[in-house]
Amino acid sequence: QVQLVESGGGSVQAGGSLRLSCAASQFTYSYSMYCMGWFRQAPGKEREWVASIYIGSGSTYYADSVKGRFTMSQDNVKDTLYLQMNSLKPEDTAMYYCAADPRTMRSCSAYPDPERFAYWGQGTQVTVSS
């Protein structure tokens, strides 16, 4: 079973930056076949898709709310995903989760719904103060 461990969360002032990491292991299929996603959930709100990457191609996809501010990347040697978050806003405050699902690149682009991701990490908290 895929194991995902997030780290890098913390507290920062608005306009600041954080980099989240997601260490991935125990893949059932070839690592290149996985769609990896970052999601976030604020108290009282539904889990929201933030960004995805298809490991095989490196193609990335972003929610409009973070486009231009967040960058998702991968280190295939370390099997680690990153989410660089710049120009943070108070509304970015949430628990951030890493997720994985084996699928095609087309599906990775078309279906970022959290329900379609099979494996999840435990989350890391990001708090942005104004």
pLDDT tens-place string over residues 48-68 = 999 999 999 999 999 999 999
Alpha-carbon distance values, 89 to 3, 14, 44, 63, 82 (Å): 30, 5, 18, 15, 19
Residues 82-130: pLDDT tens digits? Answer: 999 999 999 999 999 999 999 998 999 988 999 999 999 999 999 999 9
Task: Please tell me the distance from the alpha carbon of residue 39 to that of residue 95, in angstroms, as a whole number.
Answer: 8
- What does the pLDDT look like over 68-79, one tens digit per residue? 999 999 998 888
Assigned token pair, 3: 């194991």
Nearest to 96 by CA among 54, 128, 55: 128
- Residue 103 CA to residue 101 CA, distance in Å, equals 6
